[in-house]
Structure 1
């Protein structure tokens, strides 16, 4: 490029910067709202503005977050002094030129600036923070995961790219260093989600899991908003219960009897006051003693005695180790309930972690009208399905004076509302999900929101599946067999290609409390199946006729005494009522396009896996 063209370009750039500065002075300075309780600016209030934060240039703020990436720029101190005084910009490179002088002082101490990408978890974007080495040693602030709280001034980004603004730090108010960078799991780039499950306490620091958490938060907000706006009352139902509301599921036993039994069976080792730890410490001392005798000219008898002493101590350690294993095995051994006397238990009866809260919720619906609950539900399933874990959050609703059709309508409206809500309130996170996870997620959410759900009976579902010739199902399709994940997904994904509601299931495959239809074979139950996700909602009209309910309890072989309180609801002022359970974790799966439910749950509990 000719010198004249270079001068023209430089003039144009200077003019542009001058115009930007004039514009900044003309714009009204917005007030930066600090977090009420932490006195810092939350990054989303700076970065999620329409102008990218441009109008905030010149404002002083305090920000805090965790370092995602970093870069250091090093400049020799003497050279920086020369630049400060306007020396070193040119010269012919001769012996006494500033350039050759700078080369001669490269061994001098180095001044550096560190560019940090900092995230506080409030949004997808990160803030670029510039920190001089005079404020903090680069080696302490640069490692990924470092927590930093700084005060500084917002300025225009000095580098071209995705950043509109950056923060020039003037004070480092707090520094949470990473003690061993090599052991910090997130120091590696782009770990797969299944690997991140091993560090559930660090997962939310990643962009993907942080987005999942924010989307999950908004879906929770959207759920409560839907019910509050439609006249439902929020009710908390118990997690510990004596009622078996789903006889088809394995339940977690709640008992103190096993811990009491382990206490009673304390071994003689503990009674004697000898611990394995003290024996192992003694072994180390004896090894050191043997090594010392070998290095010196001690007599052979002393060395042999020390070796023999070490051998006996080692045998004792092995014996104690074996006994500890036997103790743990006894404490963890499964004891059949029929061998336990539950009258001696904490609740004086057999208790479980609840599988469903609908029965308890029904008692409040029969007094307050429309009610809902939101909380964890538990199934001791050994399934390795990507759609189920042992602890799942569930939204449950119950409506008095409602029948099956009303429950289906409410469930459909809730699902459509959540699809619309997440698209409206998670704009930045959904953009990230579209780019990094699933390019078709927006179209699928829009489809669920705008499409009329296909309604088919269980009879028709079986008939459609029996006509399928190009696929062999793992479980044969027959009347009376519960539809599996495979069956349900095929109907939604391949046959109808939209959400499907399957209703009127055989009474044998649904809980005892579901209302029996006039045909005597089916019950008023429904399942909502969503493409790519499966059964998101299961609901029913509940049996209000006490005679029919008694028959169903007997058919299922359940203890009538256990359900006397539930039968009371029919004896004293009953009403027709219906409701449903929405698997909230599957809704998060639906909204994000993630393939495994374990990756959208903050702390997943599944068969053989509980990290923290």
Structure 2
């Protein structure tokens, strides 16, 4: 490096470091989370730099020729310009000493920033290949003759005669012929074979953060390749990122220097050892499904939709409310429900009381109660008293179970529609919730606009590609709003989700378009650009009646085939169908002024069918009471719901979106069981 003393004032470089910046022989530490872009000139190092998870300092200094070690890379920036700090887009890198592969591989040209940097990466082997380098041909080595002075033009000829014909060498010596003045070429030395190069493993490794995988190159001198090659092996390795030496589809690869962890695989039992298994075959091993590229991509899209949901409603001023999973209220009045009970024992059989009679147990309760009282009066030790109280509690539970069984056996003396749940956990009939809208209404009538997001359960025995027993729903309730307001909110929310995926999941959507449905991205774009079509139930019925040759009879339910026809063939865009016959909608939907239609709507989209259902709730208590009586619903279940009408009622509306159906629509997959992590359907509850 030229010194400052030897430079003129006009040529003097700007000094921004405390010590001269030179070529370093040690790796630089570079971090993922923040990248400091300095304006100082820097020396170019030939050694790999180290990526850690703290901050990433990328200096832009020019190369110098000094061979002194780099001692200024860790010095504070003294430049007049402040460093620019960029936070990592992948926060998970904060909580591990590895680099998330998405940081390197996405976008597709970002890898250039990481060439020659040392990193720690981890993931699972998606494919592997062992390459054994060809044995190099031995090369002959000869001892060259020493330099010959100019003027001896025939030296090579003499050399040849001396080396090839021994007698000529003797004659040359007798006549003083340059036997000593001309060099003699030695015989070629035998070829020395080069040592064989060790085999090399090429692994495609994915950590689930992106569609792309990183090519990892491991020399057999680093680790036994047989442990790394099986598909599904988990590895954590340290090495240097390099551009491939030969032309390949991979822009960057990792040259491994150290193996930090190997999670081995039992190849004969690992279900993903076979390549490209159909999605149907993967449903029986759902705990391994996310390791496939397709399911991993679908999961990232699902996660993005979940985040987009929270973002949309948060930005619109909605509050998130958690509604109960276990409830005593049938949210729709006529749905198939899962009952919650503890009557069955741990082994799945009805609790066995061991043949003990109720009278014997009641006598034991009296005896144990007297013992507890006696221990209390005698001020006995606390351990004995606690043990006696616990024993009494268990005996009381046994008595309750026996009493419940006796009541169930009494049969005719009991009312069939009011079974006893005295011995059950909640002492009353409880279900897994079908819908959280009723509970959400209570918060809307106090806080304004609210939403919830969670699982809902239906004991529907009918098999369907778009409905299974457990599905996730986004539910919305808005105070001081009517049916039209709910329609507009649903339309805006749906388009927001479509736009979010296109803006934030470009790589996953490219994969989906290539592997699953080539029209998926176009479909999302068309949903954003098109206006929604709104038609009444009667208009919809007239259109499907012609196509499906059915009577235009009021009250006929529109089937999924009818709705798909309207969205995909007739309008080719989202369709909202509103003002259904009141008999087709739940009891809580507001009755329109015509007395026969309900203020409800369905949003139907191509490919997925009905994705959103909504309504304006009935705020008039007299109308709600009348509907409950007509449908013969158990009034005691809905007393708390009627209280909302008795005390400070207000117009309100809402809707629910089938979240899993939205993922289905986005990806183009045909079956909802392939977008739910652990699907639950009749006869199937794996894991």
Is TM > 0.5 for Structure 1 vs Structure 2?
yes
Query: Does the C-alpha gap of structure 1 residues 472 and 117 become closer, same or farther in structure 2, counting only changes over 3 Å?
Result: farther
Query: Does the C-alpha gap of structure 1 residues 265 and 114 become closer, same or farther in structure 2, counting only changes over 3 Å?
Result: same
> Which residue among 112, 123, 133 is the counterpart of 2:210?
123
The residue aligned with 2:469 is: 390
Residue 609, structure 1, aligned to residue 684, structure 2: yes
The residue aligned with 1:302 is: none
Aligned residue runs from structure 1 range 375-524, under 5 A: 375-468=454-547, 471=548, 478-524=553-599
Deviation of 1:21 (Å):
11
Higher relative contact order (CA 8 A, sep 6+): 1
Look up the SS of the partner of 1:211 in the other structure: helix
Look up the SS of the partner of 1:129 in the other structure: strand
Look up the SS of the partner of 2:282 in the other structure: helix
Look up the SS of the partner of 2:94 in the other structure: coil
Could you tell which deviates more after superposition, 433-442 or 365-374?
Answer: 433-442
Residue 238, structure 1, aligned to residue 238, structure 2: no
> Which residue among 86, 95, 103 is the counterpart of 1:37?
95
Deviation of 1:472 (Å):
5.9
Distance 2:319 2:641 in 1: 21
Deviations, residues 472-515 of structure 1 (Å, cap 9, x unaligned): 67xx7632122221111111112221111000111111100000
Distance 1:422 1:175 in 2: 35
Checking the alignment, whether the CA contact within 8 Å between 1:27 and 1:55 is kept in structure 2 is: no
The residue aligned with 1:60 is: 118
Deviation of 1:152 (Å):
0.8
Residue 134, structure 1, aligned to residue 221, structure 2: yes
Measured on the aligned residues, the alpha-carbon RMSD in Å equals 2.9
Deviations, residues 512-547 of structure 1 (Å, cap 9, x unaligned): 000000111110000000011100000000000000
Distance 2:433 2:139 in 1: 75
Deviation of 1:561 (Å):
1.3
Deviations, residues 412-440 of structure 1 (Å, cap 9, x unaligned): 00000000000000010001111111111
> Which residue among 200, 204, 219 is the counterpart of 1:113?
200
The residue aligned with 2:286 is: 200
The residue aligned with 2:442 is: 363
Distance 1:537 1:436 in 2: 27
Deviation of 1:444 (Å):
1.0
Checking the alignment, whether the CA contact within 8 Å between 1:52 and 1:165 is kept in structure 2 is: no
Deviations, residues 122-148 of structure 1 (Å, cap 9, x unaligned): 000000111111222111110000000
Checking the alignment, whether the CA contact within 8 Å between 1:517 and 1:523 is kept in structure 2 is: yes
Look up the SS of the partner of 2:539 in the other structure: helix
Q: Report how many residues are paired.
A: 505
From the two aligned structures, give the one with the greater helix fraction: 1
Checking the alignment, whether the CA contact within 8 Å between 1:455 and 1:502 is kept in structure 2 is: yes
The residue aligned with 1:214 is: 300
The residue aligned with 1:169 is: 256
Distance 2:484 2:140 in 1: 83
The residue aligned with 2:647 is: 572
Deviation of 1:182 (Å):
2.3
Query: Does the C-alpha gap of structure 1 residues 91 and 72 become closer, same or farther in structure 2, counting only changes over 3 Å?
Result: farther
Distance 1:159 1:226 in 2: 47
Checking the alignment, whether the CA contact within 8 Å between 2:286 and 2:678 is kept in structure 1 is: yes
5+ residue gaps in structure 1?
A: 1-19, 269-334
TM-score by length of 1: 0.78
Deviation of 1:550 (Å):
0.2
Checking the alignment, whether the CA contact within 8 Å between 1:112 and 1:133 is kept in structure 2 is: yes
Checking the alignment, whether the CA contact within 8 Å between 1:115 and 1:129 is kept in structure 2 is: yes
Distance 1:454 1:370 in 2: 26
Distance 2:275 2:632 in 1: 55
